[in-house]
Every structure is written in C-alpha cells, then in structure tokens.
Amino acid sequence: MTQPRRAPGGFPVVGVIGGGQLARMMQSPAIALGIQLSVLAEAADASAALVVPSSPVGEHTDLESVRAFAAACDVVTFDHEHVPQDVLQALEADGVVLHPRPGALRFAQDKLAMRERLTALGISCPRWARATTVSDVTAFGDATGWPVVAKAPRGGYDGKGVRVIGSADEVADWLAEVGSDGPLGDGMLLEERVDFVRELAVLVARSPSGQAAAWPVVQTVQTDSICTQVLAPAPGLDPHLAAVVTAAGLRIAGELDVTGVLAVEMFEVRTGAGDPAYVVNELAMRPHNSGHWSIDGAVTGQFEQHLRAVLDLPLGDPGARAPWTVMGNVLGGDHPELYRAYLHVMARDPGAKVHMYGKGVRPGRKIGHVTVCGASLEDVRARATHAADYLQGVIDE
Ligand SMILES: Nc1ncnc2c1ncn2[C@@H]1O[C@H](COP(=O)(O)OP(=O)(O)O)[C@@H](O)[C@H]1O
Ligand SMILES: [Mg+2]
C-alpha cells in the first residue's frame, strides 16, 4: 500500500466514497478545519466532484478502483451505504481505516439484519417478519392485520423499495411487478403498518474512542415517502420521550460500534395507556437529511461532526443556536431553470439560508434545501415552507 498523502501541516486526508450532496456538504467544514477531502465520485460532474478538487471517478463496487482511491487517504468514510461488504472487507484486510466499519455498516445496508439486531438488543421495533414466500406474507398480514408494509432489505431510499400491501390479493401483483428474482428471493422484510403520531429522528455522532454526542430530537415530515421538512427540535415532544429516544440512539451507536454520524429514524406512537412511545424505523450511518438543519441551526453541524468523529477528534457541541430551526428540502420540479426563483427567495427573506447541491433538476430529486432559524416556530416554518415551495416551482407570485 502506498503511504497516505497528508495535507500540509500533517493534517489528514479524509476519503469519501460517493460524490452526492452529502460528500459535497462535508467540503465547507473540511475547509474550515483544514482537512483535505478526496471523493470517489460516480462521474466528473457529481455533486461533490464539482467542489472537491481531488475527485477521482470510479465505481464504488469495483475493488481495484476503491483500493487505489483508499490508498491515498488516511481515513475512508461514505456518502451512501451501497459499497458491497466484500469490497469493504477487502479494504479492511488491506489495513484501510474505515468509519463506519463494515461490521457496523451492515445494519444500515440491510433492513433485515437491522431488525434482527435491534430486536436482540430489546430496542422497540414494529412487529416484523422475514418473508420468503407468498404464504409468509399472507400469514403475517392475517396475524398483524392488513395493510402491511413490505420492504426490500437493501438498496432502497426515498421510499423506493417500500410498498404498502393492502390485502393478500395484492401480494401476487406485487411479486409479478418485482419479478421472480426480485427481493423476495433473499427474503423480504415485512412490517406492521405503524399508526404513528409523527416521525422523529435522533442523530448522534460517535468517535472510534467512544465519545458520543446527540443533537436535539427532530420531527421529520414525509410527503410520498420523501422527507420534505425537518423541525428542530420536535415541537411539543414529551421531555421524557425525548430523553428515552436520545438514550436509545446513543445505545444503538455504542452497541453497533457505529463511528461517524448515525441517524435513527423513528415513529412516535401512543401506548395502549395513551403514553408517548417510539418504535425505530431504520438506521443510516452517515450524515442524513434529518440533520441538514444543524449546518445553520446547531453550534456543530452534522458534516463537521462527522469529520471530527471519523478522525477521532474531540466532538463539537451539538446544541441548537436558536429556539427553532426548520429545514425544507428543495425537490426538483418541472422547471429546469432555478436561478430566478433563487433570486426571489433571497430577496424576499434575507434570513433564509439557501443550500444548492449543483445537481440537475429532475422531478422529485433532492437538489437543495433551505433553512430558517428563529424564535417563533410558526414564523420559521412558514418562511422555510415558502422558500422551498418557491424554489421548486410550487408557488408563483
Ligand atoms: N412500518 C411502517 N409503518 C408505517 N409507515 C412506514 C413504515 N415503514 C415505512 N413507512 C413510511 O415509509 C417511509 C419510507 O420508509 P423507510 O423504511 O424509511 O424507507 P427508505 O429507506 O426509502 O427511507 C417512512 O419514512 C414512513 O413514512
Ligand atoms: Mg427512511
């Protein structure tokens, strides 16, 4: 293995596999921290490749490309969870420092492995089962009640790979759609459809030496299974539930030996007695959409904290800088041209922070976000909603 290339002053090089917006948003804090980033990008015009000078193009599934990339980095981390386990394990055997490590990352790569592990730890989950046949699906639905939620264990995002199945009759249709070698081949995750009050997320960062820090618990708002807004902190959250879910996030990070940022997506539910409670939806081991608010709204944003964590530096203060922060995702709409809308948003609201990812506009694609902080939730939410809606062409004034 060639010697890692340290930046001037002995500062380390952090390699990020994947050139999406998450890698891109690591670049600002890397600049401030004096850390050099290098990105293994899907294409020369990938979101992060446009802003990180060292962005070799290569496939994250190709061991030799990943190996050559990693050899020039001190630590390697991720923009997404799609690097295959055999590639990760080969890198680990080469002596590459990976954060998170493959043994932890598995639980963010495979929803069945995640359910098994969290259930073994006694963490609250929806009722679930592994299905390999149509009759497994029917039996689960008959036992827990229809509809049920079926999930491909791997590769899903923004609701792709998640399907609500309303009755036993729909199982066959759906199998025909996914094809005979579809996800059921390896086993499909089935979950009861949770009658949740709302969706929450707990974001924590943990370093290899075990230091951990948690941001305030947030509420995430999903529209058609895509996160569209995040409210920080989650309004009106029962303080006891906030403490319980934060402890659960920190415990999951410790038990799974997560390094870097861990996002725990949760559903807030009511117990039979009407008390607030939670069940875990899924895990992500990287900076996450539910933490974008922290760039402007917390003393230490998630991208800075992720870099600190993977380098085993002391962690920064995750506390909020304002009573309320609302982050609105900007999804691509029908207008490919955004610049005029962008001018309007800045002119209308000088307090709004606009973040664009340098991505081409495609309907439904996450192309940016807007954050507003302030003392009144109603005010910051209305402003963040307006700015995001305007940028995605929903409003015309
Ligand atoms: N068991 C469930 N009960 C009710 N809603 C669910 C359930 N699982 C997922 N959902 C809804 O679907 C969304 C996407 O599911 P998720 O498992 O988080 O997939 P993805 O990997 O695409 O984010 C969730 O944010 C939630 O709104
Ligand atoms: Mg999700």
pLDDT truncated to tens, each residue of the chain (397 aa)?
Answer: 445 566 778 899 999 999 999 999 999 999 999 999 999 999 999 999 999 999 999 999 999 999 999 999 999 999 999 999 999 999 999 999 999 999 999 999 999 999 999 999 999 999 999 998 888 989 999 999 999 999 988 887 888 888 899 987 787 777 666 654 444 566 889 999 999 999 999 999 999 999 999 999 999 999 988 999 999 999 999 999 999 999 999 999 999 999 999 999 999 999 999 999 999 999 999 999 999 999 999 999 999 999 999 999 999 999 999 999 999 999 998 888 899 999 999 999 999 999 999 999 999 999 999 999 999 999 999 999 999 999 998 876 6
Count of H-run helices and E-run strands, the chain: 12, 16
CA dihedral for 1, 13, 26, 243, sign (positive or negative): positive
**Other beta carbons within 10 Å of 153:** 19
* Contact (CB, 8 A) for 325 and 380: yes
At 53, phi and psi to the nearest 5? Answer: -60, -40
Whether 287 and 376 map to the same domain: the answer is: yes
Domain-ending residue, one of 81, 98, 115: 98
Residue nearest to atom 13 of ligand 1 (CA): 225
Whether 323 and 258 map to the same domain: the answer is: yes
* Closest atom of ligand 1 to CA, residue 193: 3
Minimum-distance ligand to the CA of 159?
1
Residue 221: give its domain's CATH number: 3.30.470.20
Does 241 map to a domain? yes
pLDDT score recorded for residue 275? 96
**Other beta carbons within 10 Å of 95:** 9
Whether 93 and 215 map to the same domain: the answer is: no
* Contact (CB, 8 A) for 207 and 313: yes
* Closest atom of ligand 1 to CA, residue 196: 4
Ligand 1 neighbours (beta carbon < 6 A): 126, 149, 151, 156-162, 191, 193-194, 199, 222, 225, 265, 281-282
Query: How far is the centre of ligand 2, averaged over its atoms, from the C-alpha of 239 (Å)?
Result: 24
Does 337 map to a domain? yes
pLDDT score recorded for residue 2? 45
Minimum-distance ligand to the CA of 161?
1
- Which among 280, 254, 187, 266 has a CA at the least distance from the CA of 220? 266
* Closest atom of ligand 1 to CA, residue 159: 22
* Closest atom of ligand 1 to CA, residue 158: 22
pLDDT score recorded for residue 152? 87
Query: How far is the centre of ligand 2, averaged over its atoms, from the C-alpha of 346 (Å)?
Result: 30
Does 114 map to a domain? no
CA dihedral for 163, 363, 329, 292, sign (positive or negative): positive
Does 116 map to a domain? no
Query: How far is the centre of ligand 1, averaged over its atoms, from the C-alpha of 225 (Å)?
Result: 7
Query: How far is the centre of ligand 1, averaged over its atoms, from the C-alpha of 33 (Å)?
Result: 36
Residue type, 193: R
Whether 158 and 278 map to the same domain: the answer is: no
- Which among 215, 178, 394 has a CA at the least distance from the CA of 304? 215
Whether 163 and 281 map to the same domain: the answer is: no
Q: Show the DSSP H helices in the chain as ranges.
A: 21-33, 63-70, 85-94, 102-109, 111-121, 134-144, 168-178, 239-255, 293-297, 302-310, 339-348, 377-391
Query: How far is the centre of ligand 1, averaged over its atoms, from the C-alpha of 163 (Å)?
Result: 9
* Contact (CB, 8 A) for 328 and 220: no
Does 254 map to a domain? yes
Does 45 map to a domain? yes
Query: How far is the centre of ligand 1, averaged over its atoms, from the C-alpha of 36 (Å)?
Result: 36
Query: How far is the centre of ligand 2, averaged over its atoms, from the C-alpha of 215 (Å)?
Result: 18
Q: What is the pLDDT of residues 81-109, one digit of tens each?
A: 999 999 999 999 999 999 999 999 999 99
* Closest atom of ligand 1 to CA, residue 191: 1
Residue 178: give its domain's CATH number: 3.30.1490.20
Query: How far is the centre of ligand 1, averaged over its atoms, from the C-alpha of 128 (Å)?
Result: 13
Whether 83 and 149 map to the same domain: the answer is: no
Whether 162 and 61 map to the same domain: the answer is: no
Dist. CA 200–CA 341, nearest whole Å: 30
**ω before 350 within 30° of 0 (cis)?**
no
Which of 118, 162, 197 most suits a substitution to test ligand 1, by most atoms within 8 Å of the C-beta? Answer: 162
Dist. CA 189–CA 370, nearest whole Å: 34
Residue 33: give its domain's CATH number: 3.40.50.20
* Contact (CB, 8 A) for 129 and 190: yes
Which of 225, 266, 278, 366 most suits a substitution to test ligand 1, by most atoms within 8 Å of the C-beta? Answer: 225
At 38, phi and psi to the nearest 5? Answer: -140, 135
pLDDT score recorded for residue 176? 67
* Closest atom of ligand 1 to CA, residue 192: 1
Whether 208 and 348 map to the same domain: the answer is: yes
Whether 204 and 259 map to the same domain: the answer is: yes
Whether 339 and 232 map to the same domain: the answer is: yes
Give the DSSP H/E element, type plus range, for residue 314.
Answer: none
* Contact (CB, 8 A) for 281 and 269: no
Minimum-distance ligand to the CA of 160?
1
Does 397 map to a domain? no
Residue nearest to atom 1 of ligand 1 (CA): 193
Which of 128, 281, 290, 329 most suits a substitution to test ligand 1, by most atoms within 8 Å of the C-beta? Answer: 281
Residue type, 336: P
Q: Report the number of distinct structural domains present in the chain.
A: 3
Query: How far is the centre of ligand 2, averaged over its atoms, from the C-alpha of 299 (Å)?
Result: 26
Range of the domain at 354: 198-391
Query: How far is the centre of ligand 1, averaged over its atoms, from the C-alpha of 103 (Å)?
Result: 24
Q: Which residues are CB-neighbours of 347 under 8 A, at least 6 positions away? A: none
**Which residues sit opposite 374 in a β-bridge?**
324
Dist. CA 38–CA 48, nearest whole Å: 10
Whether 187 and 243 map to the same domain: the answer is: no
Does 84 map to a domain? yes
Whether 186 and 208 map to the same domain: the answer is: no
Mapping DSSP to helix (H, G, I), strand (E, B) and coil, where does residue 228 land?
strand
The burial class, CB within 10 Å (0-12 / 13-18 / 19+), for 176 is exposed
Taking CA atoms, 159 is separated from 156, 169, 342, in Å, by: 7, 22, 28
